[in-house]
Chain A
Amino acid sequence: DGGITQSPKYLFRKEGQNVTLSCEQNLNHDAMYWYRQDPGQGLRLIYYSQIVNDFQKGDIAEGYSVSREKKESFPLTVTSAQKNPTAFYLCASSREGQGAWRRTTGELFFGEGSRLTVL
């Protein structure tokens, strides 16, 4: 079945450690995104990528890093510079990519999320 797979589902980190969250999609989507969710705060965009080897900062990129070496994969690293990393992290993808000929709709397909807890 096509979809987005995030791993791990639960992750614990000691202060000062970097951790990497995995996101893989087999939907052949061009664009991929990382969101952070805190209780009562909705979804806040961390990074997004519209094409391989290119990505853009979202609203809360500080303390995070990403890479997009393959179309299917968009891992997120939560660095020790992120002061409050405990949160639920959601990866998403969409069909649209760069290019004026593409109709952009805003429709996102989400993974099941990864819950990061800092001990």
Chain B
Amino acid sequence: GQQLNQSPQSMFIQEGEDVSMNCTSSSIFNTWLWYKQDPGEGPVLLIALYKAGELTSNGRLTAQFGITRKDSFLNISASIPSDVGIYFCAGYYGGSQGNLIFGKGTKLSVKP
């Protein structure tokens, strides 16, 4: 089946740093979504992208829908401690909701 390659798998952040993560696919999608999951909780939608080339911001978060429709990135500016968690990308190409594909997640932790 389809797979999304999400990277990095994990990263450590220091407060104030900018963070970048991305997802790539061998297939095209019509929608890219980014979710965040806090420990022991369900994921929460951060940003949804619907058009190739679209750049969308939500506070300190910025995400882009790649022009080829096969990739997306998420940037977090000036990170704060509450940014820790797991970030998932998801791609959707329409039709049945069973066609929503999730990446394996990027785990953000605070540098010791």
Contacts and interface: CB of A to CB of B under 8 A. Distances in A.
A106 B105 contact: no
Nearest to B104: A42
A106 B48 contact: yes
Contacts of B73: none
Given A48-B97, A106-B33, A42 B88 contact: yes
Interface residues of A, number: 30
B25 to A, nearest CB: 13
Interface stretch (A14-22, A68-76, A77-85, A88-96): A88-96
Contacts of B97: 31, 33, 48, 50, 94, 96, 104, 106
A113 B104 contact: no
Interface string B39-57: 0111111001010000000
Given A105-B50, A110-B43, A43 B96 contact: no
Contacts, number: 69
A59 interface: yes
A105 B50 CA distance: 8
Interface residues of B, number: 27
A58 B6 CA distance: 21
Interface string B85-112: 0001010101111101011110000000
B31 interface: yes
A1 interface: no
B39 to A, nearest CB: 10
A91 B33 CA distance: 18
Interface of A: 4, 6, 31, 33, 40-45, 48, 50, 56, 58-59, 90, 92, 94, 96, 104-113, 115
